[in-house]
Chain A
Amino acid sequence: KAGVTQTPRYLIKTRGQQVTLSCSPISGHRSVSWYQQTPGQGLQFLFEYFSETQRNKGNFPGRFSGRQFSNSRSEMNVSTLELGDSALYLCASSFGQGGLSGELFFGEGSRLTVL
């Protein structure tokens, strides 16, 4: 069974640009969550999608958005990039919302560097 796949793995952007990250969950999983991980702030929850609907949202500005498709694949978009957006963006999938009992399956992450 394939794991959670995130693309691209690494990318470099400049301030003001926008970026789209993709996440393909484990087959059969309907929930996808996104996290931002930085050395200073740790793991910060961005949002969760379940059956194409955003079910939860973290405390991030509107520049951060996401969506989920009917095949459960998800994308997140960051517009007008700032230097502080440099981070590892993690995607996690689960069968139920929040994994029901909490078990999330993570991808390897997309490392974004903003210059």
Chain B
Amino acid sequence: AQTVTQSQPEMSVQEAETVTLSCTYDTSESNYYLFWYKQPPSRQMILVIRQEAYKQQNATENRFSVNFQKAAKSFSLKISDSQLGDTAMYFCAFMNPVSSNYQLIWGAGTKLIIKP
């Protein structure tokens, strides 16, 4: 069965710093999708970034980028020039249409606090 592990329950950094959130996963599949979702306090969860496993190039969305290491089954999220609005729970998730039947397998989350 696929599993997703986020080893950092909580992190805090100063505003404008760069922070990296870790995520590892376990699967025997070769084609799959990986995601980072963000859940701000008392607000809805939103997709931050998505990576398709067959793409070697790391996905980037403005200040958010990933380091996708397929062989190591690692998918970390880097937030550059962090802002107060980045304070949120961040969830890493995995999906394979066949083995997980389109269901997202979620990590436990990392609480990120950006300090002014």
Real binding pair: yes
A residues bordering B, Cβ < 8 Å? 3-4, 42-43, 45, 48, 55-56, 90, 92, 96-104, 106-109
With A103-B50, A106-B46 as contacts: A42 and B101 at CB distance below 8 Å: no
Q: Which residues of A contact B43 (CB under 8 A)?
A: 108
Q: Which residues of A contact B104 (CB under 8 A)?
A: 45, 98, 102, 104
Q: Which residues of B contact A109 (CB under 8 A)?
A: 44
CB distance B91 to A98 under 8 Å? Answer: no
A-B contact pairs, 12 of them (CB 8 A): A42-B109, A43-B91, A43-B106, A45-B106, A56-B102, A96-B102, A98-B97, A101-B52, A102-B35, A102-B95, A102-B102, A103-B35
Complex partner residue of B103 from A45, A100, A103, CB under 8 angstroms:
A45
For the A-B complex, the count of residue pairs with Cβ-Cβ distances under 8 Å equals 57
CB distance B102 to A100 under 8 Å? Answer: yes
Asked if B11 is an interface residue, CB under 8 A from chain A, the answer is no
- Give the CA-CA distance A3 to B52 in the complex, in Å: 25
As a 0/1 sequence over residues 88 to 116 of chain B, the CB contacts with chain A under 8 angstroms (1 = contact) are 00010101010001111011110000000
